[in-house]
Amino acid sequence: MRLIIQKDRSANIRDLSLWNPVHVLYNLWSHRELIWSLVRREVRQRYRGTFLGLLWAWIIPILMMVIYTFVFSYVFKAKWQGTETQPADFALILFAGLIAFNVFSEIANTSPTLILGVPNYVRKVVFPLEVLPVVRLGSALVNSLISVILLVLLNLFLTRSLSRTLIFLPLAYLPLIFLCLASGWFLSSLGVYIRDTAEVMKVVMRILFFLSPVFYSVEAVPGFLQGVLKVNPLTIILTAFRQSLIWDEPLSWIIWGAWTVFNALLAYSGYIWFMKTKKGFADVI
């Protein structure tokens, strides 16, 4: 009886610790070496066996930027904020938005099958499954930084100048990181129990691509739709990337701060959801 009571108390203590935000940071920090090791392995495996190797991390963004710029600038004659925009300027604006959107898209599309793809880890009681979404995010961020370097070089070549607000780029990443962590923890857990989650997210991300100001500005849509775009958390993130990378503008601090706090709360909720539901992963898988 005493043993049962002690087990119940220890379980209650662990449950209570989940509600402490410091516990989240401490847990991830205590596994920092494992996270970094898995991120490096995932980045290497992404291009392992290919002839060009890591060069694909540079080639793919360039090809996508050229294709999107041709389609939206030359074919559809897209304008930014309703004014005529040079193809080179439009390419920079488009590329800056794609960098942020692609990070979130990769997390949202791959998270539903993240746990299902490593059944051996699930059966290992000592393995911290909660680090896997963090590892996937780390890999996506490494690729995005390569794209950022490419964009900075292109901006320097085309405009002969660098944005003075480039120092704010780490802050522009902050709400994106929180949003990706929230999506990663929630979707990776949900995907274990509902296998259709992966297919649903493919459709959702296609819709979200057109409902986010990736290749058009918020001002370009009718007034009643601007409210919809403004409640899209990706809108402020894409704008912050453009402000810091190419527009030489300070971040919209009040809006940025509000969305950063909101996304941080989402990430915290996603972590609690994951830790509560991961106890049943082994039974389902």
Three-class secondary structure of residue 83 per DSSP: strand
Query: Which residues, other chains included, contact 176 with Cβ-Cβ below 8 Å and sequence gap of 6+?
Result: 100, 103, 104, 237
22 is a domain residue = no
In a domain, 43, yes or no: yes
Q: How far apart are the first and last CA of the chain?
A: 33
Closest CA to 98 of 120, 123, 67, 127: 67
Find how far residue 201's CA is from the centre of its chain: 14
* Domain-located, residue 136: yes
* Long-range contacts of residues 144-147, Cβ cutoff 8 Å, at least 24 apart: 144/99, 144/100, 144/102, 144/103, 146/57, 146/58, 146/61, 147/61, 147/95, 147/98, 147/99, 147/102
Q: Are residues 238 and 213 in contact, defined by beta-carbon separation less than 8 angstroms?
A: yes
How many Cα atoms sit within 13 Å of 52 on the Cβ side?
6
Residue 259 lies in a domain: yes
Task: Examine residue 205 and state whether it is found in any structural domain, yes or no.
Answer: yes
CA distance 223 to 107: 31
Does residue 234 sit within a domain? Answer: yes
pLDDT in tens, 179-206: 999 999 999 999 999 999 999 999 999 9
CB burial readout 113-125, b (16+ within 10 A) else e? bbbbeeeeebeee
Is position 102 within any domain? Answer: yes
DSSP, res 86: -
CA–CA distances in Å: residue 211 to residues 41, 207, 214, 264: 34, 6, 8, 22
Q: Structural domain tally of the chain?
A: 1
Name 80's bridge partners.
Answer: 83
Closest CA to 122 of 196, 41, 201, 189: 189
**pLDDT < 70 regions, the chain:** 1-18, 49-54, 72-85, 125
Q: What are phi and psi of 221, to 5 degrees?
A: -100, 160
Give a yes or no: residue 21 inside a domain.
Answer: no
Instruction: Write out the residue range of the structural domain in which residue 92 sits.
Output: 31-284
